[in-house]
Structure 1
Amino acid sequence: MTPAQLLTDAFGRIAEGGRDVVDGLDEEQLAHRPGPDANPIGWLVWHLARVQDDHVADVAGIEQVWTARGFHEKFGLPFDASDIGYGHSSEQVAHVRVDAERLAAYVDAVHEQTRGYLEGLDAADLDRVVDDRWDPPVTLGVRLVSVVNDDAQHLGQAAYVRGLLGV
């Protein structure tokens, strides 16, 4: 298995889990917060897809799916197109109200773009420095693993909240 195949598998599991965790839920269930400031399923899945879209597009030097395919307009959220949810207040989290079909479509589109980018990578590409603001500088491999890790954590949180709903 090549590093690109390994990363494709990891990101594929995120996409599959993202679709599964929203499947069959209505807008109220997607917006359910188990605590006053807890993150709901809809926000968690939107955020994990936004992070992946933003970070992969950046290292690939391509436009994000969010803007290129019109998802920013389709979602109609009151945020700037560059917003990925990082540091959102409880009030901002509450603004992410979307249906499961649209959310799953965005997850799929982000995965499609990610998979296309990963297919062109070889092992040497993973050593390319993509962010020199850190010590040590962040390589492509480290950035991609970081995105998988962040996405997996948010996906697990979304699955937990779904379990609390009893569905």
Structure 2
Amino acid sequence: MSATDVLLDGFDRVRQAVEEIVDGLSADQLTHRVDGTANSIAWLVWHLTRVQDDHVADLAGTGQAWTDEGWADRFALPLPAGDTGYGHDSEQVSAVAATADLLVAYHRAVHERTKAYLGDLKATDLPDVVDDAWDPPVTRAVRLVSVLEDDLQHAGQAAFARGLLPEG
């Protein structure tokens, strides 16, 4: 199994988790905020997908599905088109609302782009430095693992939030 196969497997697991987490949830359940302040399931899934879309598009040198495929228009969020959710305050978290179908469809679109990118990636591409603003500089492999780790953390948070949804 190659390094890109491992990354593909990891991103497949994120996709599966996203689909399982939002399955059967209503819009109210998706936007429910535990204790009234925690990130909602809708926000967590949207954010992890936006970050994956943003970072993989940057690595691939392409546009993002969010803007190129019209997802920003379909979601119609009161946020700038380039927003990924990083640093959102409570009001911005509350502004992210979507149906389970819309969240899954956007995530699948980003997942397909991620699979296509990883399918074209060679092992010799992984050590390329993609961001020298850090010490040590960030390689393509490190960036991909970072996105995967962030996705899995947010998916875990969304699964936990689902388990805390009020009955009824």
State the TM-score, normalized to the length of structure 2: 0.97
Return the alpha-carbon distance in structure 1 between the equivalents of residues 85 and 51 of structure 2.
8
What amino acid sits opposite 2:21 in the alignment?
Answer: V
| Cα distance in 2 for residues equivalent to 1:124 and 1:49 | 27
1:8-157 map, 5 Å: 8-157=8-157
Identity score, percent:
56
CA distance in 1, matches of 2:81, 2:16: 25
Given that 1:3 and 1:122 are in contact with CA atoms closer than 8 Å, whether structure 2 keeps it comes out as no
**Partner amino acid, structure 2, of 1:106:** Y
Q: Evaluate the alpha carbon distance shift between residue 132 and residue 160 of structure 1 in structure 2; reply closer, same or farther with a 3 A threshold.
A: same
How far 1:36 moved relative to its partner?
2.5
- CA distances 1:93-122 after superposition (whole Å, capped 9, x unpaired): 000011000000001000000000000111
**Equivalent residue number for residue 7 of structure 1:** 7
Mapped partners of 1:95, 1:102: distance in 2: 15
- Tell me, yes or no, if the aligned pair for 1:23 and 1:100 is still in contact at 8 Å: yes
3-state DSSP of counterpart to 1:35? helix
CA distance in 1, matches of 2:6, 2:62: 22
In 2: Cα distance, 1:50 partner to 1:19 partner: 16
Give me the CA root mean square deviation.
0.9
Q: 1:166 and 1:13, CA in 2 relative to 1: closer, same or farther beyond 3 A? A: farther
Residue type of the alignment partner of 1:153: Q
Would you say the 8 A contact 1:44–1:154 is kept in 2? yes
Secondary structure of the residue that 1:77 maps to in structure 2? coil
Query: Across the two proteins, how many residue pairs are aligned to each other?
Result: 167
Relative to the length of structure 1, the TM-score reads: 0.98
3-state secondary structure, aligned to 1:127: coil
Letter in 1 for 2:144: L
Runs of 4+ in 1 over 2 A off after TM superposition: none
Equivalent pair of 1:45/1:155 in contact (CA under 8 Å): yes
State the match for 1:158 in structure 2.
158
CA drift of 1:35 comes to 1.7
Q: Give the unaligned 5+ runs of structure 1.
A: none
The unaligned stretches of length 5 or more in structure 2 are none
Q: Distance in 1 between matches of 2:97 and 2:61?
A: 30
